[in-house]
């Protein structure tokens, strides 16, 4: 199938397919007239790339999964490198969660301290339960 059809079936753009090809994630055959030719395996690779990116993996982090599919496996995560990438990404996400929890705790502490001081000099009393709209400039 030509690039437009492959993009449509994968739910993406022709530009994305060309980009994946430039990054070595997709390898299109060329017809006699130079047009890119794709098959169902290529569409499967693109669908998998998009799915993994939607789950937070970078394009480079999808590489082990793509290589697993290109090696002929039915599932992109049936290879050791793919499984290792899951472990790496989960550790990264856990670290981000810990960092965000620490930030949240610090902000709650600051907010409680501000409320306890009754914030002197404010025009209106502090209401911690109401989101105020910003005045327009």
pLDDT tens digit sequence for 41-88: 999 999 999 999 999 999 999 999 999 999 999 999 999 999 999 999
| 37 pLDDT more than 80 | yes
More confident residue, 131 or 86: 86
Task: Identify whether 104 is part of a domain.
Answer: yes
Residue 120's pLDDT band (cuts 50, 70, 90): low
Task: Identify whether 26 is part of a domain.
Answer: yes
C-alpha 135/C-alpha 137 separation (Å) is 6
pTM of the predicted structure, to 2 decimals: 0.76
Task: Identify whether 11 is part of a domain.
Answer: yes
Task: Identify whether 12 is part of a domain.
Answer: yes
Domain hosting 21: range is 3-116
Q: Into how many domains does the chain fold? A: 1
C-alpha 117/C-alpha 119 separation (Å) is 5
HSE-up of residue 83 (Cα within 13 Å, Cβ side): 3
Q: What is the mean pLDDT of residues 107-113?
A: 94
Place of tokens 């397919």: 17
Q: What is the mean pLDDT of residues 104-132?
A: 75
CB 59 within 8 A of CB 22: no
Residue-wise pLDDT for 79-98, tens only, equals: 999 999 999 999 999 999 99
Task: Identify whether 18 is part of a domain.
Answer: yes
71: CATH = 1.10.1660.10
Q: What is the mean pLDDT of residues 5-11?
A: 96
Closest to 25 (Cα-Cα) out of 43, 45, 51, 40? 45
Distance of CA 114 to the CA centre of its chain: 37
Closest to 26 (Cα-Cα) out of 34, 78, 14? 14
C-alpha 75/C-alpha 66 separation (Å) is 10
Task: Identify whether 71 is part of a domain.
Answer: yes
Q: What is the mean pLDDT of residues 8-22?
A: 96
- What one-character DSSP code corresponds to residue 21? H
Place of tokens 């090696």: 71
């Amino acid at each position: 199938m030509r690039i437009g059809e492959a993009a449509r079936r994968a739910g993406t753009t022709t530009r994305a397919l060309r980009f994946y090809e430039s990054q070595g994630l997709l390898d299109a055959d060329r017809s006699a007239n130079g047009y890119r030719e794709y098959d169902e395996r290529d569409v499967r690779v693109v669908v998998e790339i998009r799915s993994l990116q939607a789950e937070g993996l970078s394009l480079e982090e999808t590489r082990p999964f793509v290589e697993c599919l290109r090696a002929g496996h039915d599932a992109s995560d049936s290879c050791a490198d793919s499984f290792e990438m899951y472990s790496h990404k989960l550790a990264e996400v856990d670290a981000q969660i810990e960092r965000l929890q620490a930030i949240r705790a610090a902000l709650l502490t600051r907010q409680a301290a501000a409320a306890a001081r009754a914030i002197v000099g404010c025009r209106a009393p502090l209401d911690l339960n109401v989101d105020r709209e910003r005045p327009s400039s």
